[in-house]
Amino acid sequence: MNAPERGPLAGIRAAIVDLDGTMVHTAPDFQVAINRMRADFGLAPLTVETVIEFVGKGSENLMRRVLAVDFEAEEVERRFPDALAAYQRHYLAINGQHSRVYDGVHEGLAAMKAGGLRLACVTNKPIAFARPLLEKTGLATYFELVYGGDSLPKKKPDPLPMLTVCRDFGLEPSAVVAIGDSSNDAEAARAAGCRSLTVPYGYNHGKPVHSIDSDGIVATLFDAARLLAA
């Protein structure tokens, strides 16, 4: 898929931006917290490449996939509550310490705001993790709205978070673009009636970014801002 034509993105008045893998490279934080949890239970550490394949559908899904490396489904469910609690404890302790903001993110968000776009962050990360990370990275000031994976009854790829932002902004979904790194973002946007753009550098469950059904691929958020302003 090449860069999109202007047509599908005409009339955009707001952008919904994903967090992990789109604005911030958080996989190193995930790996540290996961491996500390695994050490608590006498399990071998996982590589960052393995962790990246598991990221994207929220902490509960992440923990189940991490446990499934070692256990069958029944044992995964038995161990899940303790593993999730341990992971969350370790993650809160190191949130943002091993992460970095991707190139073009601050510039892109600033350009979008300067161009009059309203901005929301929608992530499947629990809100108790998302807000501190946005503050620590200096990204919080760009966003009017922030929804985490536990802020609403359903998370991406369900369209509810996207539709909620559209309602909060008083905009039709066709006037909103979702920008993310995975199929979760594009599927949620499509189902809500929003436009969508994909960045190529994040965590798409180990699948190639070109397999995502979005309105186009943009190299950075700054490139997205320039495209939307064109």
d(CA 18, CA 6) in angstroms, rounded, equals 22
d(CA 33, CA 49): 15
The burial class, CB within 10 Å (0-12 / 13-18 / 19+), for 123 is: buried
Q: SS3 of 130, please? A: helix
Torsion sign, CA atoms 123, 126, 130, 131 = positive
205 touches 52 (CB < 8 A): no
State the Cα–Cα distance between residues 215 and 198, nearest whole angstrom.
8
Chain-centroid distance, C-alpha 148: 9
In angstroms, rounded to a whole number, what is the distance separating the alpha carbons of residues 45 and 35? 5
Q: Among residues 18, 29, 181, 215, which one is catalytic?
A: 18
Which residues partner with 101 through β-bridges? 24
Can you tell me the distance from the alpha carbon of 173 to that of 189, in angstroms, rounded to the nearest whole number? 9
The structure tokens 């994909």 sit at 198
23 half-sphere exposure, CB direction, 13 A CA radius = 28
Tokens of 228: 């939307």
Per the annotation, the verdict on 20 as an active-site residue is: no
Catalytic residues: 18
